[in-house]
């Protein structure tokens, strides 16, 4: 029974295999949050949030319990914190009532369970028949404004998701001025926040900071989740690490503006909120209308980050990603971007495909530059018409030429953007975001289309359908190469302009839903200047993401390691590219480039016609090796072994994938510093059976699982720059 409704105690308890989450209706009918931590026998946990220190200078509700001066909205642990009613902490919801007053006092109405997982109209969300849903309905004390709190429990993965649907049953419109999904009040303690910041070509760099009395926030106001912050954080015990300590992973299933914020209050209680960034946000709800807040996904682990990541990986793979490819073997692809940039024609592409096929590559992807007059990034976005001069025929003919080489064919789109120099812009300049009387800002010579308007989305949909119906296309890379400025929709009145960011996301999700469901056999890869929109929202539509425009194997260690805290390797687009590397000029061994790319989708991004025979042979070997490990890498349990973020502790980065029964593992260790005369290093392997004997890379010598996990695996040093090794561990 993953959900317990106890009407006597007025508690609502969610249970996963290892975790427990509880709420309780208090004397005033307020829904308090009482517990989120390790699973235990059912009990009313309210004692754990009682506090004999009053939240001074905090008013008491008019109908609060007599004489309990400490009872204040500012002091109690609330399941959904509301602004404007005396809670001075971080608040999640803000309601502007029809009379202009700002605030709501949600009180309990009802609770019920539902079989299966709730869904959210127009928004991405985890799904699954095996999940169970709890719906708790609260209502403002004064107005007929209802808050339906949705929770879903995925027992097996220790995953709990939540959302809020606000319903206006008054006879006048109200405005949501804040619609943040998560309020999470933690047990008293000292916590850190781990988060993943970055920039273009340096995405998801790990940082950790103490949560004190000032707010700690990660946020985006770029109209995309962005390279700069990721909508995923870990709040953890101050001593938590990969294996020990309490860790709450919190991810938003949303790809637009977001805010995740935490602080301690005057009673030393820590609160976390997460949801749509309230800056430049408000949303009108008409009488009988509803607003759904984006979903938040949470995993609690009392065994540190490793276990938490594993739960997210499984849940994302099985219950967020959809479609034919979510668990299927993905084709090994070659993308022409770094090989040619805009400088190609069909003959050149076919020559590349011909060589790549000989090495075992299965899919050829034609990147940017195939449409309109796009020989550089100054024009043609919005005109999704093949350039038949460059393609030396129709798109269908090119696809056939690639198919005739024995390869599948894929194509690049940037559906959300428009160039000023395009037929679409000349015909419909109002399709691009621009503020009245203000020249819009260009970024990479392009503007963003107003996807809050259905006719704009429809126009792009129809163009994409024409292309995708017109040729044998097996793969689409969906790119987005600038962030949103000049936000203004000519289709909405002045008082509704605060809705545009979110309406843009709804338009984008609608287009994604229509395109991905119309073409169930196409493999979709998300991209935004590399990994600028690597989030759970996008993964609902596209099962893999181009992790970064930085394809250097050594920089990729940090990028892929940071990404792995939330996202599984099956979602990480990773390619072998040329050296010196185009992003940082580093020269690394081809073998190391391959080893790093194995822990992702593995593909190529270089001009294979320029490779030496030796290099081609190495790529052929890699493709065979990658395929032989495919199942282990993609479906094994992933562990981070040595962090690339701690160079003072080790010169290596190492990670591992292991079968859940401990029967086989693959460790990848890459030396990212080239210091002389360094000490020997061992890496402690995880997930093996302690009593069983193992061989390493088929060695004669056998090693006890317990020894490999406690003493470690000796990392053999190879005397050249940036060496790497794979250690295949099998039962003896
Ligand atoms: C940015 C992407 O990240 C690259 O891989 C490439 O597709 C370019 N855009 C093309 O403009």
Residue of 177, 486, 510, 615 marked active site: 615
Q: Predicted confidence band at 71 (pLDDT cuts at 50, 70, 90)?
A: confident
Q: For residue 580, is the peptide bond before it cis, meaning its omega torsion is within 30 degrees of 0? A: yes
Structural contact between residues 108 and 215, judged by C-beta atoms closer than 8 angstroms:
no
- Cα(368) to centroid of ligand 1, in Å? 7
DSSP, collapsed to helix, strand or coil, labels residue 665 as strand
Residue 38 clears pLDDT 80, i.e. is over it: yes
Structural element, H or E, at residue 283: strand 283-285
Residue 514 DSSP one-character state? H
pLDDT of residue 67: 67
Residue located nearest, by CA, to atom 9 of ligand 1: 529
Residue located nearest, by CA, to atom 1 of ligand 1: 529
For ligand 1, mutation pick of 377, 527, 542 (most atoms within 8 Å of CB)? 527
DSSP, collapsed to helix, strand or coil, labels residue 298 as strand
Closest ligand 1 atom to Cα of 549: 3
- Cα(399) to centroid of ligand 1, in Å? 21
Closest ligand 1 atom to Cα of 605: 5
Residue 66 clears pLDDT 80, i.e. is over it: no
Residue located nearest, by CA, to atom 10 of ligand 1: 368
pLDDT of residue 2: 94
pLDDT of residue 386: 98
Q: Predicted confidence band at 50 (pLDDT cuts at 50, 70, 90)?
A: confident
- Cα(183) to centroid of ligand 1, in Å? 37
- Cα(232) to centroid of ligand 1, in Å? 24
pLDDT of residue 166: 98
- Tokens for 54, please give them: 């009053």
Closest ligand 1 atom to Cα of 377: 11
Question: Tens digit of pLDDT for each residue in 666-703?
Answer: 999 999 988 888 899 999 999 999 999 999 999 999 99
Q: Where are the alpha helices (DSSP H) in 577-661?
A: 590-598, 613-635
Residue 101 clears pLDDT 70, i.e. is over it: yes
Question: Tens digit of pLDDT for each residue in 119-177?
Answer: 999 999 999 999 999 999 999 999 999 999 999 999 999 999 999 999 999 999 999 99
How large is the C-alpha radius of gyration of the chain?
A: 27
Residue 97 clears pLDDT 90, i.e. is over it: yes
Of 645, 656, 635, nearest to 709 by C-alpha is 656
% pLDDT > 90, the chain: 95
Closest ligand 1 atom to Cα of 530: 3
Size of the chain in residues: 732
Residue 723 clears pLDDT 70, i.e. is over it: yes
- Cα(516) to centroid of ligand 1, in Å? 20
Pairing mode, strands 408-413 and 283-285: unpaired
- pTM, 2 dp: 0.98
Residue 509 clears pLDDT 80, i.e. is over it: yes
Residue 660 DSSP one-character state? T
Residue 463 clears pLDDT 80, i.e. is over it: yes
Structural contact between residues 555 and 583, judged by C-beta atoms closer than 8 angstroms:
yes
pLDDT of residue 64: 85
Closest ligand 1 atom to Cα of 412: 7
- Cα(572) to centroid of ligand 1, in Å? 15
The rounded distance, in Å, linking the Cα atoms of 639 and 687 is: 9
Q: Predicted confidence band at 363 (pLDDT cuts at 50, 70, 90)?
A: very high
For ligand 1, mutation pick of 481, 583, 604 (most atoms within 8 Å of CB)? 481
pLDDT of residue 70: 73
Active site residue 535: yes
Residue of 535, 552, 555, 656 marked active site: 535
For ligand 1, mutation pick of 531, 538, 546 (most atoms within 8 Å of CB)? 546
- Tokens for 381, please give them: 């976005």
Question: Tens digit of pLDDT for each residue in 562-614?
Answer: 999 999 999 999 999 999 999 999 999 999 999 999 999 999 999 999 999 99
- Tokens for 32, please give them: 């308090």
Protein residues whose CB sits closer than 6 Å to any atom of ligand 1: 337, 367-368, 412, 479, 481, 527, 529-530, 546, 549
How many whole angstroms from its chain centre is CA 113?
A: 28
The rounded distance, in Å, linking the Cα atoms of 141 and 10 is: 19
- Cα(479) to centroid of ligand 1, in Å? 7
pLDDT of residue 518: 98
Residue 548 clears pLDDT 90, i.e. is over it: yes
Residue located nearest, by CA, to atom 11 of ligand 1: 368
Using H for helix, E for strand and C for coil, what is the string for 231-262? Answer: CEEEEEECCCCCCCECEEEEEEECCCCEEEEE
Closest ligand 1 atom to Cα of 367: 7
Residue 53 clears pLDDT 80, i.e. is over it: no
pLDDT of residue 412: 98
What's the mean per-residue pLDDT of the chain? 97
Question: Tens digit of pLDDT for each residue in 469-481?
Answer: 999 999 999 999 9
CB environment 307-341: b (16+ within 10 A), e (fewer): bbbbbbbbbbbbbbbbbebbeeebbbbbbbbbbbe
Q: Which residue has the higher pLDDT, 67 or 620?
A: 620
Q: Predicted confidence band at 68 (pLDDT cuts at 50, 70, 90)?
A: low
Structural contact between residues 410 and 366, judged by C-beta atoms closer than 8 angstroms:
yes
């Amino acid at each position: 029974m993953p959900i317990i409704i106890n009407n006597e105690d007025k508690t609502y308890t969610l249970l996963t295999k290892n975790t427990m989450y509880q709420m309780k209706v208090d004397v005033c009918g307020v829904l308090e949050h009482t517990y989120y931590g390790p699973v235990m026998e059912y009990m009313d946990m309210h004692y754990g949030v009682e506090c004999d220190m009053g939240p001074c200078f905090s008013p008491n509700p008019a109908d609060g319990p007599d004489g309990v001066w400490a009872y204040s909205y500012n002091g109690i642990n609330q399941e959904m914190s509301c602004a404007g009613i005396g809670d001075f902490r971080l608040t999640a919801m803000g309601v502007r009532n029809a009379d202009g007053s700002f605030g709501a006092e949600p009180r309990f109405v009802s609770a019920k369970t539902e079989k299966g997982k709730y869904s959210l109209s127009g928004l991405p969300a985890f799904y699954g028949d095996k999940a169970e849903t709890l719906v708790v309905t609260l209502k403002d004390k004064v107005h007929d404004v209802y808050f339906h709190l949705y929770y879903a429990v995925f027992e097996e993965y220790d995953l709990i998701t939540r959302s809020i649907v606000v319903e206006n049953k008054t006879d006048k419109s109200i405005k949501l001025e804040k619609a943040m999904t998560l309020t999470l009040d933690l047990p008293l303690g000292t916590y850190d926040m781990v988060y993943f910041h970055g920039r273009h070509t340096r995405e998801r760099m790990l940082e950790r900071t103490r949560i004190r009395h000032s707010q700690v926030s990660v946020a985006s106001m770029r109209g995309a989740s962005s390279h700069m912050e990721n909508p995923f954080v870990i709040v953890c015990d101050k001593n938590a690490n990969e294996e020990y300590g309490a860790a709450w992973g919190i991810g938003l299933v949303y790809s637009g503006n977001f805010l995740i914020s935490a602080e301690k209050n005057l009673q030393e209680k820590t609160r976390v909120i997460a949801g749509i960034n309230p800056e430049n946000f408000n949303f009108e709800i008409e009488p009988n209308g509803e607003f759904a807040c984006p979903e938040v996904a949470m995993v609690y682990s009392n065994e540190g980050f490793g276990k938490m990541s594993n739960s997210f990986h499984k849940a994302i793979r099985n219950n967020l990603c959809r479609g034919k490819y979510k668990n299927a073997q993905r084709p090994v692809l070659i993308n022409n971007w770094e090989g040619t940039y805009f400088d190609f024609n069909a003959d050149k592409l076919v020559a590349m495909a011909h060589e790549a096929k000989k090495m075992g590559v299965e899919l050829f992807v034609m990147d940017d530059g195939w449409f309109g007059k796009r020989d550089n990034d100054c024009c043609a976005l919005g005109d999704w018409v093949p350039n038949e001069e460059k393609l030396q025929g129709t798109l269908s003919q090119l696809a056939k030429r690639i198919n005739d080489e024995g390869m599948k064919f894929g194509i690049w789109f940037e559906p959300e953007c428009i160039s000023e120099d395009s037929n679409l812009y000349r015909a419909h300049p109002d399709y691009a975001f621009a503020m009245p009387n203000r020249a819009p800002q260009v970024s990479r010579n392009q503007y963003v289309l107003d996807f809050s308007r259905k006719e704009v989305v429809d126009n792009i949909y129809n163009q994409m359908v024409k292309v995708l119906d017109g040729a044998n296309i097996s793969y689409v890379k969906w790119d987005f190469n600038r962030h949103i400025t000049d936000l203004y929709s000519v289709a909405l009145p002045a008082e509704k302009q605060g809705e545009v960011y979110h309406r843009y996301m709804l338009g984008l999700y609608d287009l994604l839903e229509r395109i991905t469901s119309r073409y169930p056999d196409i493999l979709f890869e998300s991209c935004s200047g590399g990994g600028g929109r690597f989030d759970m929202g996008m993964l609902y539509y596209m099962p893999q993401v181009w992790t970064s425009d930085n394809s250097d194997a050594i920089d990729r260690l940090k990028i892929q390691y940071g990404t792995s805290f939330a996202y599984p390797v099956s979602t990480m687009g990773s390619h072998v590219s040329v050296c010196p590397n185009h992003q940082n000029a580093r020269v690394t061994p081809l073998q190391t480039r391959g080893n790093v790319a194995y822990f992702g989708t593995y593909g190529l991004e270089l001009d294979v016609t320029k490779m030496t025979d030796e290099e081609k042979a190495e790529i052929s070997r890699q493709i065979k090796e990658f395929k032989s490990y495919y199942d282990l890498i993609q479906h094994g349990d992933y562990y981070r072994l040595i962090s690339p973020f701690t160079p003072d502790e080790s010169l290596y980065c190492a990670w591992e994938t292991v079968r859940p029964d401990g029967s086989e593992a693959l460790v990848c260790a890459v030396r990212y510093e080239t210091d002389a005369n360094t000490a020997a290093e061992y890496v402690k392997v995880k997930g093996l059976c302690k009593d069983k004997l193992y061989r390493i890379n088929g060695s004669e010598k056998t090693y006890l699982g317990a020894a490999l996990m406690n003493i470690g695996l000796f990392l053999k040093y190879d005397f050249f720059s940036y060496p790497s090794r794979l250690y295949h561990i099998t039962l003896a």
